[in-house]
Amino acid sequence: MTASRTNTRIREFRLPDLGEGLTESEIVQWHVAEGDTVELNQIIADVETAKAVVELPSPYAGVVVRLHEAAGTVVDVGAPIVSFEVAAGPDDAVPVPASVPDEPVPAEPAPARREPNLVGYGAAVEKGGRPQRRGRSLPAANAPQPAAVLQPAAAPQPRERPRSTPPVRKLARDLGITLDTLTGTGPGALITRADVLAALAGTPSSTAEPASPGPRPRAVRSSTGEIRTPIRGMRKHTAAAMVASAFSAPHATEFLTIDVTPTMELLAELKAGRAFEGTRVTPLTVVSKAVCIAIARNPILNSSWDEQAQEIVQYADVNLGIAAATPRGLLVPNIKAAQSLTLKDLAQALGALTETARAGRTPPTDLAGGTISITNIGVFGIDAGTPILNPGEAAILAMGAVRSTPWEYRGEIALRSVMTLSLSFDHRLVDGEQGSRFLADVGTILRNPAMVLTMV
């Protein structure tokens, strides 16, 4: 265009959002050079967005006076890419301060910066003149606080939600992992499924090295010596699960103290024999087996209260949960269809499960779908307690420490191996009679493993 030099003005073209919610694009190729005269809608460049390569038509008829970015450059949406010298249109007759000749007259091509949250930008950055939130008009604040004036950038910026995908968010929520604590390894720091699973398994950064900026909540010791730890991650999840369980399922707990000497003798025999060589058999092994056998006789203990459906769900399989202290906190992985396992298989499954849990490598599938749980508080030297149900389950059995105790034996007092079992059950669906029969069955087996012959 050959408008007279005196009657022209400079217009800047800023890179628009060429897709829906893009924040940047790459200039693949310029089709014009500085000094070229272009028509309106003449293709001036090829631009590649995350979605497509598109042609950029010139928004003005005029002369290209400056290409702000070279081909191959990735440009933020809103950044100027071309300046045109165009004939002054009728708009320009309106008094415009001559000192701002390069201000584009058409509506802002794009806000200067957008939050990179793709669909839905949130509010665009105000173009100035208006505050983003209500200014405080306290009379005392009239004297400007130097610190506040000197540090305008210190205004707290709303934290962006960690980038991830809905299925991964759900996984993290289900596992009680807060995405804020993770560092994404996907494209654009996207938090992937693998990141969440790695965090759960405690790798790579949740192990106890103090230098690691891992996802463990950071505790802060105050001047008075109290330690304040943010509630998040596994602790938060555990707390929520405990509260949900304790205040939705009315717990009843029963205790049974028994002489488990025959069980201990059986274990000693198994350890000595060839059949179980290499397999670790413990009181937990026998208790687990006893629970499976007792469930077959009292199936209501292996069930769940479905509040939403108003149904009681009785499970076919015993997915036996074992409470385990892990580096990340309490986990209750379960052994699927434990009732179908032989004692040896069960022993091996228990060994693998606890080892995996202690190493922090429990896969999510092991954490889901449990139907009844055992917690072995005996390993801490504790006798009895009131265990809280694993949410959704109808019963949990706590096994206490096996102690050498003076006990009535064949009409006399003898030192026997004695253990206390504590059974909590959901009293909505398990009556005292059913709970008692179940606990008595478990006790019967531990008291005399041979009694299994009468029970299966």
Cα R_g (the chain), whole angstroms: 35
If one asks whether residue 134 binds another protein (CB under 8 A), the answer comes out as yes
Window 111-130: contact mask with another protein (x via CB under 8 A): ---------------x-xxx
Question: Least CB distance from residue 32 to another protein, whole Å?
Answer: 15
Cβ distance to another protein smaller for residue 126 or 408: 126
The reply to whether 90 sits near another protein by the rule CB under 8 A is no
Q: What is the DSSP string of 250-318?
A: -EEEEEEEEE-HHHHHHHHHHHHSSTTTT----HHHHHHHHHHHHHHH-GGGSEEEETTTTEEEE-SS-
- CA separation for the pair 87, 60 (Å, rounded): 9
Contact between residue 249 and residue 429 where contact means Cβ atoms under 8 Å apart: no
Is there binding between residue 16 and another protein (CB under 8 A)?
yes
Q: Is 198 left (phi over 0), alpha (psi -120 to 50) or beta?
A: alpha
Within 288-317, which residues bind another protein (CB under 8 A)?
Answer: none
Rounded least distance, CB 149 to another protein, Å: 7
20 part of the interface to another protein, by CB under 8 A: yes
Whether residue 427 lies in the annotated active site: yes
- Inter-helix orientation angle 283-297/432-447, to 10°: 140
Burial profile 80-102: b = 16 or more Cβ within 10 angstroms, e = fewer: bbbbbbbbeeeeeeeeeeeeeee
Number of residues interacting with another protein: please give it, by CB under 8 A: 39
Give the one residue of 5, 136, 221, 228 binding another protein; rule: CB under 8 A: 136
Nearer to another protein, 144 or 187 (CB): 144
398 CA to centre of own chain: 29
CA atoms within 13 A on the CB side of 90: 0
Q: Enter the tokens of residue 453.
A: 């012959």
User: Which residues lie across from 413 on neighbouring strands?
Assistant: 408
Site for another protein in 51-80 (CB under 8 A): 51-59
* Interaction between residue 132 and another protein (CB under 8 A): yes
Mark 348-382 as b/e (b = at least 16 C-beta within 10 Å).
Answer: bbbbebbebbeebbbeeebbeebbbbbbbbbeeee
* Contacting residue, 2, 6, 142, 224, with another protein by CB under 8 A: 142
Rule CB under 8 A: is residue 19 a binding residue for another protein? Answer: yes
| Interface with another protein in residues 155-184 (CB under 8 A) | 155
Q: By C-beta, is 39 or 180 nearer to another protein?
A: 39
**Which member of 35, 95, 146, 152 binds another protein (CB under 8 A)?**
152
Smallest gap from residue 19 Cβ to another protein (A)? 4
Closer to another protein by Cβ: residue 15 or 388? 15
- Does position 17 interact with another protein (CB under 8 A)? The reply is yes
Candidates 131-139, 245-253, 399-407, 432-440: pick the segment binding another protein (CB under 8 A). 131-139
Among 144, 146, 188, 278, binds another protein (CB under 8 A): 144
Choosing from 24, 46, 92, 109, the residue that interacts with another protein (CB under 8 A) is: 109
Nearer Cβ to another protein (19/217): 19
Determine the angle formed by the axes of helices 261-272 and 283-297, rounding to 10 degrees.
120
Tokens standing for residue 165 = 């995908």
Return the amino acid letter for 167: P
Structure tokens at 404: 């050498």
Query: Distance between CA atoms of 242 and 257, rounded to whole angstroms?
Result: 26
Least Å from the CB of residue 119 to another protein: 11
Which CB sits closer to another protein, 140 or 316? Answer: 140
Task: Report phi then psi at 178, rounded to 5.
Answer: -90, 125
User: Is residue 252 involved in binding another protein (CB under 8 A)?
Assistant: no
The answer to the question of residue 13 lying near another protein (CB under 8 A) is: yes
Instruction: Locate 117 and state its tokens.
Output: 């949250």
Residue 41 in contact with another protein, rule: CB under 8 A: yes
- Selecting among 31, 68, 251, 427, the annotated active-site residue is 427
| DSSP type of residue 206 | T
* Minimum distance of another protein from residue 298's CB (angstroms): 47
Binding site for another protein (CB under 8 A): 13-20, 41, 51-59, 106-107, 109-110, 126, 128-132, 134-137, 141-142, 144, 148-149, 152, 155
Residues catalogued as catalytic: 427
